[in-house]
Amino acid sequence: MLKPRPHHPASHWHSTRRLTLGLLLVWFVLTFGVIFFARELSGIRWFGWPLSFYMAAQGLALAYLLIVAVYTWQMRKIDRRQQESEHNRGHNREQKREQQ
Amino acid sequence: MKDGSFFWRLVRYYAWYTGGFILLLVVLAILEKEGLPRTWIGYLFMFATIVLYAGIGIMSRTSDVSEYYVAGRRVPGLFNGMATAADWISAATFISLAGGLYLQGFDGLAYIIGWTGGYCLVALLIAPYLRKFGQYTIPDFLAARYRGRTSSNPVRVLAVAATVVISFIYVVAQIYGVGLITSRFTGVDFSVGIFLGLASILVCSFLGGMRAITWTQVAQYVIILFAYLIPVIWLSMEHTHSPVAQVSYGSVLAQITNIEKKLDVDPKEIDVRAIFKANADDYDARLRDLPKSWEQGRIEAQQHLELLKRNNSSLIEIRAANRALNSYPKTPEEAERKWQQDKASNLARAEPPVPQATPFPGATREASDIKRNNFLALVFCLMMGTASLPHILMRYYTTPSVQESRKSVFWTLFFILLIYLTVPALAVLVKYYIYTSLVGSDYAHLPEWVSYWANIDKSNPLVSITDFNHDGLVQLSEITLDGDMIMLATPEIAGLPYFVSGLVAAGGLAAALSTADGLLLTISNALSHDVYYKMIDPHASTAKRVTVSKLLLLVVALLAAYTASLKPGDILSMVGAAFSLASSTLFPVLALGVFWKRGNQQGAIAAIVVGFGTCIYYMLHTYPALGGSASGQWFHIAPMAAGIFGVPAGLLALIVVSLLTPPPDPRAVALVHHVRTP
């Protein structure tokens, strides 16, 4: 007997939305935090750069690439989970038909 | 399996292509050593690259609708990323960005942040959902999403209008860049240069639409990358002994900060600044005395000329006096405008140098806060604008699947960063070069590039160095550089061989052409697909649709070239305006279209109209060249960042109007569910 997987029609969209919201929050806090406090951060040295200059010139851009990478990778996982659960549902239905 | 072999075939083709390009570089380097004249090297670069683009265009010619509009939807994510990066890296980025960072210091970094951070929004909010929708244009998506009970046309018309206006402003800026480069490096007239560039744009997009453009853009990206990285690596080796400028330029930045501190208190620099201050005061006095001072100034200029003529002075002096008289303001009003400008520019030059690494330098905390707020506003507009530029979003229709489109955004940002992480390094390295080898050098022996770049446009020189305090030495305050020439002149400033200059010009041309291609196609697709096919003749055969698209492309291209030949403004401000307009008009409807089911047709119409209206109103109201005045600014925000008001206005309009009117059509809700599922 197959293990019954809990399935909610909204779960895929639900996890997508949560992931999107979380990453947007990171994006927002990072961007506007760094710019807003740039004057305060410029006293800190970072491998020879003033931290605020480095973040604005290169650090933020690299962080954005990371955000997009995490999103792509996580969404693939979410998509795959959805496909599996759909596949299983199809499998369950077939089994039921055979039993009848 | 089939997709895999297609991918590897592409990799093989472009590897051969890159190898061929390196070979061309080596051959030209050897030819230069053997004494080939410089002009020939310039011609060879222009000619070889344009023939190449045309060749790809001819090989990929097509009349199939899906191939023409979306390249058959089989472009792998990596290659679509490269093509989008080329589409993205425009004349503004390639030619002006390094110059902007050079001149504005920290404030210029707003462009880097805005133009990369926007891709987070593209990836998270828009690209995958557009791909899932899977039609041809951006108006297509908006029309289907915001369909009414009877017709989807109102939203479609507005979206087409927005797409065309935004892309048109942007394409004019690109063609302007094409004209600048071709005229500088081949010596033809500016307007001839524009039409030369246009010819090569057309061969490519005219014959093969999106399919040809995609494969050309990948080729153009390779050239852009080489053209940007080679001079920087070269400079970096000289100054930091490391080829990885992106990592090693920190030490140079520290040295620049030290030099700036010395220049701040250098007595000779203070001397020159005092001269500018005196000039500004002089203009101030004249402005207070208007219109009497205007009358007097004219008489003095006439007397000066007559005196010179009577004394049999040299022809050069007489000509200069004549020119001064001819360019003297014709009316007191004109005098006021001109003198205000001169006063401002003299005042600006009386200031100590802008520190490269200090965020928001300002005399008072308040002035500094205003700079920070403008920085934030600009970043906001550029990010939202990135996520709503139709020619970029359209590219994500061409991938084989939703997942591939997500991957493609990643690759786009990756390839953009290869260039963008280098831009601040370039600005800093060039600045170091100017500070150490030009400042303090002998005025009588200026390097050759100064006179070369000063002579390109005599009335509005890109470089000028004048010995204001007559001490025979060059002071930093005596140098003015135009932001648009810094990247193009980098190889000469650093004394690199001329083939690197030719390469940089070819890269700039590739950047401008690839963006212009994408934009022209976006405009013509919106007109032919959304207006002609969807609204005028829904029964048009596929061949007819593609033909109409090609014809429209020709008309739009000629119109854009004509507008560019009128020289309507500088590149960066045109591009900035396009971003603000795009964000205010399209971002609310695109983002809420997926994430808010309740949005309906009336709301979308309101959002587009209100967003566009707010943005245009603010620009007209505050931009002096358009008849506004800086005193009308809200919270001291510059007109270029008008989107900071446009986007919230559009969002609010969409939400309020949608809630006040009946819920959306069930077919629209079904579409939202469709794009949300994998």
Size of interface A-B (CB pairs under 8 A): 121
Tell me the chain B residues in contact with residue A60 when contact means C-beta distances shorter than 8 Å: 112-113, 116-117
- Give B465-514 pLDDT, tens digit per residue: 888 777 878 888 888 888 888 888 888 888 888 889 888 988 888 888 88
Looking at residue A96, its pLDDT comes to 64
Q: What is the mean pLDDT of residues A69-88?
A: 87
**Minimal C-alpha gap between B375 and chain A (Å):** 8
Q: Chain A: residue nearest B107 by CA? A: A56
Judged against a pLDDT cut of 70, whether residue B2 lies above it is answered with no
pLDDT at residue B471, rounded to an integer: 81
Contacts of B246 in chain A (CB under 8 A): 58
Q: Do B124 and A76 touch (CB under 8 A)?
A: no
Share of chain B above pLDDT 90, in %: 22
Q: In this complex, is the C-beta atom of B245 within 8 Å of any C-beta atom belonging to chain A?
A: no
The 3-class SS string of B123-177 reads: HHHHHHHHHHHCCCCHHHHHHHHCCCCCCCHHHHHHHHHHHHHHHHHHHHHHHHH
Query: Across the strands, what pairs with B473?
Result: B442
* A42-46, A89-93, B17-21, B544-548: range with lowest mean pLDDT: A89-93
Are B223 and B402 a contacting pair, CB within 8 Å?
no
Tell me the per-residue pLDDT of B440-478, one tens digit each, with 9 for 90 and over.
Answer: 888 888 888 888 888 776 667 788 888 877 787 888 888
Select from A25, A41, A72 the residue whose CB has the most chain B CBs within 10 Å, as the one to mutate to test that interface.
Answer: A72
What does the pLDDT read at residue A1? Answer: 41
pLDDT (0 to 100) of residue B581: 92
- Please state, in angstroms and as integers, the Cα–Cα distance from residue B434 to each residue in B381, B398, B421, following that order: 33, 45, 21
Tell me if B379 and A82 make a contact (CB, 8 A cut-off): no
Q: Is B421 on the interface with A (CB under 8 A)?
A: yes
Per CB-CB distance under 8 Å, the chain B contacts of A16 are 676
pLDDT at A100: 55
Predicted pLDDT at B254: 83
Q: Which site among B113, B431, B596 would you substitute to test the A interface, given the most A Cβ atoms closer than 10 Å to its Cβ?
A: B113
Comparing C-alpha atoms, which of B623, B508, B616 is closest to residue B45? B508
pLDDT at residue number B385: 93
φ/ψ of residue B463, rounded to 5: -135, 135
Partner-chain contact A61 B417, CB within 8 Å: yes
Whether residue B224 is predicted with pLDDT greater than 90 in this model: the reply is: yes
The answer to whether A57 contacts B250, with C-beta atoms less than 8 Å apart, is: no
Residue B392 has pLDDT above 50, yes or no: yes
- Give how far B150 is from chain A: nearest CA, Å: 30
Among A79-88, B279-288, B464-473, B581-590, top mean pLDDT goes to B581-590
Task: Tell me which chain B residue has its CA closest to the CA of residue A10.
Answer: B677
Which of A20 and B37 is assigned the larger pLDDT? Answer: A20
With contacts defined as CB-CB under 8 Å, which chain A residues touch B410? 65, 68-69, 72
Q: What is the pLDDT of residue A3?
A: 44
Of B305 and B225, the structure prediction assigns the larger pLDDT to: B225
* Minimum CA–CA partner of A54 in chain B: B250
Instruction: Name the packing angle between helices A11-36 and B109-121 (round to 10°).
Output: 170
Domain parsing of chain A, residue ranges = 18-99
Contacts with A52 from chain B: Cβ below 8 Å: 106, 359
What was the pLDDT predicted at B250? 80
pLDDT, tens digit, for every residue of B269-280?
A: 888 888 888 888
Of A36-50, B155-169, B498-512, least confident by mean pLDDT is A36-50
pLDDT at B604: 92
Mean pLDDT throughout B196-202?
76
